[in-house]
Amino acid sequence: MTDRKKDLLILSGLLAVLLILFSKILFTSQIIRAPDIINEFYWGIKGFGSRAFLSLFKVDISSAGWNTLLNSGHTNEGGMASEQFLVIRNLIFWIFPAPASVAWYIVAQLFFGAAGTYCLCRLIGAGRPASFLAGLVFALAPENASLINAGHVMKIATISFAPWAFYFLEKGFKTRRLIFFLTTAVVLAFQFFHTHWQVAYYTCLAIGVYGIARSVFILREEKPAGKEVASLVGMNLVLLVFFLTTVAISLVPLANWSKETNRGVNSGANAVAGGGKTEAKGGLAREEAMSWSLPPEETAAFIIPGMFGYSRQEAGENPKDIDAYYWGRMNFTQTVSYMGLLPWLLLPLPLIFRRDRYTWLALSAVVVGIFFSMGKYTLFYNLLFDYFPGINRFRVPKMIMFIPVLGLGVLSALGLDLLLDPVVRGTRAFKRYILGIVLLPVVLLALLGTEIATGQFWVNTFIDILSQPTRYQPQSEQLVLERWNNLVAETAIAAGLAALFAAAFALYHRGKLAAKLVPLVLIALFLLDVGRVNSKFLFLVDEPHKATAVKPPEIAFLANQPKDYRTLPLGGDPMPYAASGIPVMFTSNAVQQRRWQEFLDSFDLLSTMPDILNVRYLVLSKDQYRKDQASMGNKYRPVFTTPDGGTVILENQNVLPKAWLAPVAVKATSTQESLAALQSPAFNPRLMAVVESEPPIPLAPPTAQVTTAPGQVRVLRYEGELIDLDASVAMNSLLVMGEKYYRGWRATVDGKVAEIYPVDHVLRGIYLTPGMHKVELVFDPTPFKVGKYLTLISFAVFAAFLGREVVLRRRQPIGAKGAES
- Predicted confidence (pLDDT) per residue in 601-624, tens digit: 999 999 999 999 999 999 999 999
Q: Both 721 and 752 in a single domain?
A: yes
SS3 content of the chain, % helix, strand, coil (to 5): 55, 15, 35
Q: Both 606 and 648 in a single domain?
A: yes
Q: Taking each helix axis as running N to C, give the angle between helix 518-534 and helix 128-140, from 0 to 180 degrees, rounded to the nearest 10.
A: 10
Of 652, 682, 711, the one marking the end of a domain is 652
Q: Both 682 and 607 in a single domain?
A: no
Q: Both 645 and 705 in a single domain?
A: no
Give the pLDDT mean for 148-154: 90
Q: Both 668 and 775 in a single domain?
A: yes
Report yes or no on 619 lying in a domain: yes
DSSP 550: S
Contact 49, 93 (CB under 8 A): yes
Give the pLDDT mean for 3-22: 96
The number of angstroms, rounded, from the C-alpha of 577 to the middle of its chain's C-alpha atoms is 23
Report yes or no on 759 lying in a domain: yes
Q: Both 570 and 679 in a single domain?
A: no
Query: At residue 538, what is the residue type?
Result: L
Contact 139, 402 (CB under 8 A): no
Of 632, 652, 672, the one marking the end of a domain is 652
Report H helices in 330-401. Answer: 341-346, 348-353, 357-373, 379-387
Our CA angle for 301, 304, 307, nearest 5°, is 70
Q: Both 678 and 724 in a single domain?
A: yes
Report yes or no on 731 lying in a domain: yes
Q: Both 626 and 664 in a single domain?
A: no
Q: Both 612 and 630 in a single domain?
A: yes
Task: Tell whether omega for the bond before 224 is within 30 degrees of 0, i.e. cis.
Answer: no
Q: Looking at residue 281, what is its pLDDT?
A: 66
Confidence tier at 439 by pLDDT (50, 70, 90)? very high
Question: Which span out of 46-55, 97-106, 270-279, 319-328 was modeled with the highest average pLDDT?
Answer: 97-106
Which of 16-25, 79-88, 136-145, 570-579 has the lowest average pLDDT?
Answer: 570-579
From the list 217, 143, 208, the residue with the least C-alpha distance to 408 is: 143
Report yes or no on 123 lying in a domain: no
Half-sphere exposure of 564 (CA within 13 A, CB side): 14
Give the pLDDT mean for 727-753: 96
Phi/psi for 729 (5° steps) reads -105, 125
Query: At residue 677, what is the residue type?
Result: A
The 10 Å Cβ neighbour count of residue 630 is 7
Query: At residue 243, what is the residue type?
Result: F
Phi/psi for 590 (5° steps) reads -65, -30
Q: Both 639 and 677 in a single domain?
A: no
Report yes or no on 647 lying in a domain: yes
From the list 246, 289, 247, the residue with the least C-alpha distance to 388 is: 289
Give the pLDDT mean for 15-20: 97
Q: Both 691 and 758 in a single domain?
A: yes
Of 629, 652, 675, the one marking the end of a domain is 652
Report yes or no on 331 lying in a domain: no
CA dist 492 and 486 (Å) reads 10
Q: Both 638 and 562 in a single domain?
A: yes
CA dist 140 and 110 (Å) reads 8
Query: At residue 405, what is the residue type?
Result: V
CA dist 776 and 764 (Å) reads 13
3 state DSSP class of 663: coil
| Number of domains observed in the structure of the chain | 2
Domain carrying residue 718: 659-780
Report yes or no on 559 lying in a domain: yes
- Please indicate, yes or no, whether the overall pTM of this predicted structure exceeds 0.95: no
pLDDT over 60 at 443, yes or no: yes
CA dist 236 and 178 (Å) reads 9
Report yes or no on 728 lying in a domain: yes
Q: Taking each helix axis as running N to C, give the angle between helix 197-222 and helix 226-246, from 0 to 180 degrees, rounded to the nearest 10.
A: 170
